[in-house]
Amino acid sequence: MPELRGSVHLALYPSGTPRHYNSGMRTSSRGGVPWRVIAVQLAVILGLIVFFSLYLPHHRRALAARAAATREQKINAVFHDSVEEDSSHEVSVPLDGAIVKRHPERLRTTFSPAQAEALLGAPNTGTTDFRGGQHLTWIGTTHELDASFDRGHLYCLTFEDRATNHGVMVYESPWSWRPF
């Protein structure tokens, strides 16, 4: 018989089909599985359990934190890109128990609800008032942005600090602007 790769032999049977067999592999006399194979399988299963129970939740939390930080950056960017300060006027406003002079702000750009969703993603909450006005709210880690639309046209942005509940309402006209 010709020898192929170690102890594997090729034998031809009368039907002419080749048959492979390994004459060098030890088989169990009882037909059982060696304990080392069971130990390796248990180690692999234990490794998978540890991976799925420890690493994946940590990875999900890291992805959620990264998504929240990105959403906060988008909220800040949209607000600051959409609002401009009117430096030609001053308004007296209460701030920490004192009356201070501040420059009013107004909307620099307006956009539709669809454009807002394209910029910020899906809103956390959305309501419709009795006149058909739409109010969409995006909540970040430290700020909340509320956009109010009338007939699909942005007329007010409310930017609020979630820690202090203070913020500013900005309208199309600088005379309607007010902090809270």
The values of phi and psi at residue 162, to 5°, are -70, -25
pLDDT value for 168: 85
pLDDT value for 108: 85
Q: Extract the residue ranges of the chain whose pLDDT is less than 50.
A: 1, 4, 6-9, 12
**Can you say how many angstroms the Cα of residue 81 is from the centroid of all Cα atoms in its chain?**
23
* 4's tokens: 């192929």
pLDDT value for 91: 74
> How many whole angstroms separate alpha carbon 92 and alpha carbon 180?
13
> How many whole angstroms separate alpha carbon 64 and alpha carbon 147?
24
DSSP state of 44: H
pLDDT tens readout for residues 100-125? 777 778 888 888 899 989 988 889 88
CA angle 153, 156, 161 (to 5 degrees): 140
pLDDT tens readout for residues 64-87? 999 889 999 999 999 989 888 877
Tell me the whole-structure pTM to 2 decimals. Answer: 0.62
